Amino acid sequence: MNDLTINDRQKLLMKTLIGLQAVEIVWDINAFYFNTQLASFKLECLEAVPLGSNYAYDEIFYCDFSECNTRIRFENGDKNFWYKIISSDCVIHKIDFISVIELFPENKVIPIESANNHEQGLNKSTLGLILQTNKGFVPAFLLPSNHGFTWQPKFDFYSKDEVDQLLVDNIMYYEVMSLTGEKGVTNV
């Protein structure tokens, strides 16, 4: 199985965001940025050739979390950029990540528990994060087979019920895990 999930190093970086005051959350088409007083972090949409692909141009999209080399400054209304500042002063209480298993060459998301029935062409990937803040929830995740975060109906805070509905409506089979390793919702 090709593993394109959030790794332990990335989880440790994410944990540094929890509980910090005045975290700035910025949406950009292919990334979410998280600014603290000292550093900028990035949840980025990346692509890879999937295991089981029959074609050189097949792509699988997944998210990677990293610390930026320098702290990035954002200004609302900057006509040179497409980003939107969702918040400049929120506190992140919890971070969950969303994983799926995609089967190639069929290019489809399959139920998590049925992955053992397939011998090849499986790609486990992290599609993004669900952030719980003092102002609401931020669904920072991709759709399977979709490069970028442009599908979301609004780039703002959501209620828990709205995030749950987005998952059910847009991703057929998924698993939500907390940074501590606890399984949350699994839609199989």
Contact 143, 112 (CB under 8 A): no
What are the angstrom distances between the C-alpha of 145 and each of 18, 106, 117, 136, 188? Answer: 29, 12, 22, 27, 19
Q: Which amino acid is at 182?
A: E
- Predicted local distance difference test score (pLDDT) of residue 182: 66
- Can you tell me the distance from the alpha carbon of 126 to that of 135, in angstroms, rounded to the nearest whole number? 24
- Predicted local distance difference test score (pLDDT) of residue 176: 94
> Smallest Cα–Cα separation from 98: which of 177, 172, 33, 184?
177
- Predicted local distance difference test score (pLDDT) of residue 53: 87
What own/partner pairs with CB < 8 Å and gap ≥ 24 does 163-169 have? 163/130, 163/137, 163/139, 166/139, 167/98
Contact 26, 35 (CB under 8 A): yes
Q: pLDDT for 119-129, tens place per residue? A: 789 999 999 99
Phi, psi of 10 (to 5 degrees): -65, -40
Written as six digits, the tokens of 150 are 């442009």
- Predicted local distance difference test score (pLDDT) of residue 183: 67
Q: pLDDT for 145-184, tens place per residue? A: 888 888 888 889 999 999 999 999 999 899 999 987 666 6
160: Cα separation from own chain's centroid: 16
Q: pLDDT for 72-83, tens place per residue? A: 888 877 766 788
b/e per residue, 111-144, with b = 16+ CB within 10 A? bbeeeeeeeebbbbbbbbbbbbbeebbbbbbbbb
pTM of structure: 0.90
Q: What mean pLDDT, rounded, does the chain reach?
A: 89
Phi, psi of 164 (to 5 degrees): -60, -40
> Residue 65: beta bridge partners?
43
